[in-house]
Amino acid sequence: MTPAAPAAADAVATAGAASGRPPPLRPGDRVTVVSPAGPCSAELLEAGTAWLRKWGLDVRLAPNVLATHPTLPYLAGHDADRARDFEQAWLDPSTAGVLCARGGYGSLRMVDLVDWTAVTAHRKVFLGSSDTTVLHERFRRAGTPTWFGPMVGTRAFVEDTAARERLRRALFTGVSSYGGVGMAPGTARGIAVGGTLSLLVDPPPDGAIVLLEDVNEEPYRLDRMLTGLLRSGWFDRVAGLVLGSWVGCGDASAVLADRLGGLGVPIVADAGFGHCEGQLTVPLGVPVEIDGDTGAVTVGG
């Protein structure tokens, strides 16, 4: 299938930037799959990219997408190679989007090796979650909207039909709203930021709506993370919170209510994004309005 011409891809990116949402993909667009963190299963990656091709996308794989570090097997190759793959994929004028193969661990090691001035001069589609939270943060600094959702070389994409279809709709047509359960009353509007709690690095901008989720963390560990952020003043200027899934985290709801309930901002819980079955794909770096009474989240332009 013929990939979108660079000029067309640039036009789509410009439209996405103007609307305050990630630019939509179209059949024929070229996307490149990268592994900025942990090593990817060849079988899952093959199955995942087959789905992308069924969607009409022209799929390319970064040179080190299946690499494994020679002495640190939890990394998908050397830091410099992962950074170069990401940067070159993003700067390729024929590429409309860069999609992560999986998380694991490693994005924090390569993030400072990327030329972010060059990368953020272009608006394209970026998809990642979990360990790639730090990459979302860098895009957010530059005002570039991104997608937080299931990654191409994971079971969450290959085997979860609902999650995969939600990702497809997000990438091609966008997301206008989602929601959960009201946890703390009130309404607020701000830029959606955040990701996986244990991987947060940068403080949020003033007036942000912070999205949080995590997986396989004991309640006391969640307590420790949240208490540390509270003591540092990390939450002092947020306008509201949207909480996703907490699979394998025990009675996370009690910890979240105890640590976050006193902030005095609207909170929406159980919003369905993160490491859960049928996970939503949600935009970051975009304006959203939340209602802590009804649990509604509206994505605004």
Contact 26, 127 (CB under 8 A): no
Domain boundaries, the chain: 19-173, 177-299
List the structure tokens of 163: 């999650």
With a cut of 50, say whether residue 119 has pLDDT above it.
Answer: yes
CA distance 205 to 186: 20
**pLDDT above 50 for 15:** no
Mean pLDDT value of segment 127-150: 97
Express each pLDDT in 32-88 by its tens digit.
Answer: 999 999 999 999 999 999 999 999 999 999 999 999 999 999 999 999 999 999 999
- Give the percent of the chain with pLDDT over 90: 91
Strands in 9-90 per DSSP E = 30-34, 58-61
When pLDDT is averaged across residues 178-190 and rounded to a whole number, the result is 98
The pLDDT of residue 1? 32
pLDDT at 4 over 60: no
Q: DSSP secondary structure string, 100-111?
A: E---SS-HHHHG
**Does residue 152 register a pLDDT over 90?**
yes
Q: Establish whether 275 is a catalytic residue.
A: yes
Mean pLDDT of the chain: 93
Is domain 19-173 given the CATH code 3.40.50.10740 in the classification?
Answer: yes
User: Catalytic residue among 107, 130, 198, 245, which?
Assistant: 130
148, 282 in Cβ contact below 8 A? Answer: yes
Residues in the chain: 301
Residues contacting 107, CB < 8 A, separation 6+: 36, 37, 131, 132, 133, 134, 135, 199
CA distance 246 to 196: 10
Q: Is 213 a catalytic residue?
A: yes
pLDDT by residue (tens digit) across 273-301?
A: 999 999 999 999 999 999 999 999 999 85
Q: Which fold has domain 177-299?
A: Glucose Oxidase; domain 1 (3.50.30)
**pLDDT exceeds cutoff 70 at 20:** no
Q: What is the pLDDT of residue 21?
A: 79
The active-site residue, picked from 87, 137, 213, 289, is 213
Fold equal for 19-173 and 177-299: no
Report the distance separating Cα 243 and Cα 273, nearest Å.
8
What confidence tens digit (pLDDT) does each residue in 210-263 have? 999 999 999 999 999 999 999 999 999 999 999 999 999 999 999 999 999 999
- Residue 7: predicted pLDDT: 33
**Tokens coding 93:** 């004028």
pLDDT at 34: 98
pTM > 0.85: yes
Cβ atoms of residues 148 and 281 within 8 Å: yes
Catalytic one of 107, 136, 275, 289: 275
Q: Residue 16's pLDDT band (boundaries 50, 70, 90)?
A: very low
What percent of the chain is helix, strand and coil (3-state, nearest 5)? 35, 20, 40
Q: What pLDDT score does 17 carry? A: 36
Helices (H) then strands (E): counts for the chain:
10, 14
Distance CA 106, CA 296 (A): 34
Query: Is 78 a catalytic site residue?
Result: no
Q: Is 178 helix (H, G, I), strand (E, B) or coil?
A: strand
